[in-house]
Amino acid sequence: MCPNLSIRLTVRRGFSFLVCALTLNLGLWQFSIAKAPTASKSQQNQPVSQELSEADKLFIELRDAARKNDVTRSGQLAAALVNYPYTDYVRYFRIKPQLFDKGNEARADTILDEEVYAFLRAYEGTAIADRLRNDWLLVLGKRKDWPQFDKEYSLFMLDDDTNVKCYALQSRLAKQEDPKRIGEDALKIMIDPRNFGSACQELVPLLVQAKGLTISQAKALGRAAAEMNLETIGKRIGGDDLLATLVRSARADASKAYRDFLQSNARLSKEDQAMAWGVLGQFLAKRLDRNAIDAYRRQQQLGFDALLSTESQEWKVRTALRAHDWQLTKDAIEKMNPAVRQRDPAWTYWYGRAYKELGSPELANAQFKELEDQYHFYGQLAREELGKAIFIPAKVKVSEAEIKGMAGRNGFVRGEQFYAMNLRFEGNREWNWELRGMSDKQLLAAAEYAKRIHLYDRTVNTADRTKGEHDFALRYPTPFKEQLSPIAKNIDLNLAWAYGLIRQESRFITNASSSVGASGLMQVMPNTAKYVAKKIGMNSYTNERLKDTQTNLTLGSHYLNMVLQDLDGSWVLASAAYNAGPSRPKSWREKLTQSTEGAIFVESIPFNETRTYVKNVLANATYYSLLMDGKSSTIKQRLGTIQPKTAVLSELP
């Protein structure tokens, strides 16, 4: 019988079969193992921390040096970790900085070919080998070594790097393939300008020269970059100065830019006018300005929808929804770039709604049926449009043998050890790599295994991947219930909603922290915590106590209840307030011109993060309610109707 394992942050009071697996795989890893102390029920889900060994600390420092492409420091640290068990990662962190410069651009002059290929041969089929192959493809693309690039690209498993894909298109162009076909493929992958690295920036002018893209299409890509404040990228791709100037004006003051353009637009070509109105429509819409609909209607009359940026295409639909202009909603979705339209189920749902509102129920239902068996916000809305109840699919059971069999899988063992060092990026890479190719039953066994070792974020992530066989108790777990339930009951806070929020906020990672300082299960900000602690009489509160799960749940739950009361009991507004602060949803509501259904209000939230957040929290709450009570109000009831109301200042932070 192996002893209990108590390690830092993530692996907590694991089962004996887990501990044995870890012990067998520790090798020379200098890692502290100690028998965990007996814990009370309220403490059993708390992380038990252990100090890292000196070797572990050097390894983490090596990882950080490699991220900065610090060749000298990476070499020194790698040399000091000769006997460290993660030889592959040590080697990778030594090689990677030599492939890129300080600006993280691939170096064509690197002479590490022999070492890279030796690494790929030694670790072929592993997550870290695929990562190095990704890096190496960027180097080969920079060199324009297309024969070797094509060979390695065929072995690249994840194929999730837009820059590598742009080099692959350059390779096809160099082989004299049809430029038109390559241009079509380029438009499918060049959706988000933030991913336009040097390969994509080189590709666009090459395609224009080869007549694979028109000058107008190149300008559209450049304008999309400028709209995201990436003007340098925009100019390299082919953006024009005239519309770049308009973008800057619209970003600074969209209302003024709109008024000015009303006076000067006739001087431009119809194409430039259409693009300008599209730009203005987007920036006005993001400020919920009432003139957004006028800008988009003017653009609609002129046409050229295919040249609008992704952002402008999507905000055109949202603006039409907010104006209750169902014909424009339908037309805008039909004219979307197919790659944009297909990547988000929102547009399938709203296309169906447009048909319904325009009096074509059969065409509407055809759209809803595409979504009805999908377990997300729009799947729930679509089922209700079809008159069907939202449901929890039948639970598929897995055997103990199947669950225990996951303990010895190399990716999980390595992932758990990385989590123990708080290296979540590396841990997720190893864990997710192990999931590739698994059947639904295997995924459920892996999710249950993750739950048993208290890796709840992996529980959710893994269970979410199943296609036909499900266990929603794993997709929507309820850890910490003995702590959270009494808190929620005491303040009459809906427990399903609270769990839906925690699932979205932290995925049940107790030591989760954000870049802006929010921490813990409910991602409470320090200033918010102090405010709530004072209001509820929590004496001697210090922000250090936010790390305590009980304190975090108490303060987060009370704050959620406070914003709910402050926002007239609206789950939509309160969820948005928890993410973006109470003043913002109040100002968004104030800008309404008419009573608006909750789903449309959510769709037109100006912040991408908050919009996605609210959708997920409410969809989560629906499933949690079904799991907890066997019944639930409909998603439309949860969304409700948002009424125009003058914003009132609140003292809530």
Q: Give the contacts of 112 (CB within 8 A, at least 6 positions apart).
A: 95, 98, 99
pLDDT digits (tens, 9 = 90+) for 18-56: 333 332 232 333 322 222 233 333 333 444 445 799 999
Give the phi and the psi of residue 479 in degrees, each rounded to 5: -70, 160
Residue 363 has pLDDT above 60, yes or no: yes
pLDDT at 318: 98
359-388 burial, b at 16+ Cβ within 10 Å, e below that, comes to eeeeebbebbebbbeebbbbbbbbbbbeee
Regarding predicted confidence, which is higher, 348 or 33? Answer: 348
Q: Say what the pTM is.
A: 0.90
Q: Give the contacts of 156 (CB within 8 A, at least 6 positions apart).
A: 130, 133, 134, 137, 164
- Over residues 52-64, the mean pLDDT reads 96
Burial class (CB in 10 A: 0-12, 13-18, 19+), 357: middle
pLDDT at 24: 28
- Over residues 515-524, the mean pLDDT reads 93
Contacts 24+ apart (CB under 8 A), 505-510: 506/457, 507/456, 507/457, 507/460, 507/461, 508/456, 508/457, 508/459, 508/460, 508/477, 508/479, 508/480, 509/456, 509/457, 510/45, 510/46, 510/47, 510/549, 510/552
pLDDT at 25: 31
Which pLDDT band, with edges at 50, 70 and 90, does 516 fall under? Answer: confident
Alpha carbon dihedral 526, 531, 534, 540, in 10-degree steps, equals 10
pLDDT at 649: 66
Burial class (CB in 10 A: 0-12, 13-18, 19+), 560: buried
Instruction: Tell me which amino acid residue 398 is.
Output: V
pLDDT at 242: 85
Taking the C-alpha atoms of residue 281 and residue 311, their distance in angstroms, rounded to an integer, is: 10
pLDDT at 108: 96
**Can you read off the two tokens belonging to residue 594?**
């008419």
Strands 641-642 and 596-597, by their bridges, are antiparallel
**Can you read off the two tokens belonging to residue 543?**
């922000």
For residue 595, how far is the Cα from the chain centroid?
Answer: 31
User: DSSP labels for 98-129?
Assistant: GTB-TT-PBPTT---HHHHHHHHHHTTTSHHH
8-state DSSP, 397? P
Share of residues in the chain with pLDDT > 70 (%): 92
pLDDT digits (tens, 9 = 90+) for 470-501: 999 999 999 999 999 999 999 999 999 999 99
pLDDT at 239: 79
pLDDT at 30: 30
8-state DSSP, 513? B
Share of residues in the chain with pLDDT > 90 (%): 87
Residue 88 has pLDDT above 70, yes or no: yes
Q: How many residues does the chain have?
A: 653
Taking the C-alpha atoms of residue 269 and residue 258, their distance in angstroms, rounded to an integer, is: 17
Residue that the structure tokens 């208290």 belong to = 454
Which pLDDT band, with edges at 50, 70 and 90, does 11 fall under? Answer: very low
Contact 413, 25 (CB under 8 A): yes
User: Of 235-249, 382-396, 417-431, 562-576, where does mean pLDDT reach its minimum?
Assistant: 235-249
- Over residues 264-285, the mean pLDDT reads 96
pLDDT at 652: 87
Half-sphere exposure of 166 (CA within 13 A, CB side): 25
Which pLDDT band, with edges at 50, 70 and 90, does 632 fall under? Answer: confident
Q: Among residues 19, 50, 57, which one has the least CA distance to residue 32? A: 50
Residue 12 has pLDDT above 50, yes or no: no
602-612 burial, b at 16+ Cβ within 10 Å, e below that, comes to bbbbbeeebbe
Taking the C-alpha atoms of residue 464 and residue 6, their distance in angstroms, rounded to an integer, is: 28
- Over residues 466-473, the mean pLDDT reads 98
pLDDT at 16: 29
pLDDT at 648: 67
Contact 430, 418 (CB under 8 A): yes
User: Of 162-171, 213-222, 387-396, 644-653, where does mean pLDDT reach its minimum?
Assistant: 644-653
Regarding predicted confidence, which is higher, 3 or 236? Answer: 236
Taking the C-alpha atoms of residue 477 and residue 459, their distance in angstroms, rounded to an integer, is: 8
Burial class (CB in 10 A: 0-12, 13-18, 19+), 72: exposed
pLDDT at 50: 53
**Can you read off the two tokens belonging to residue 385?**
């449009």
Residue 105 has pLDDT above 90, yes or no: yes
pLDDT at 487: 98
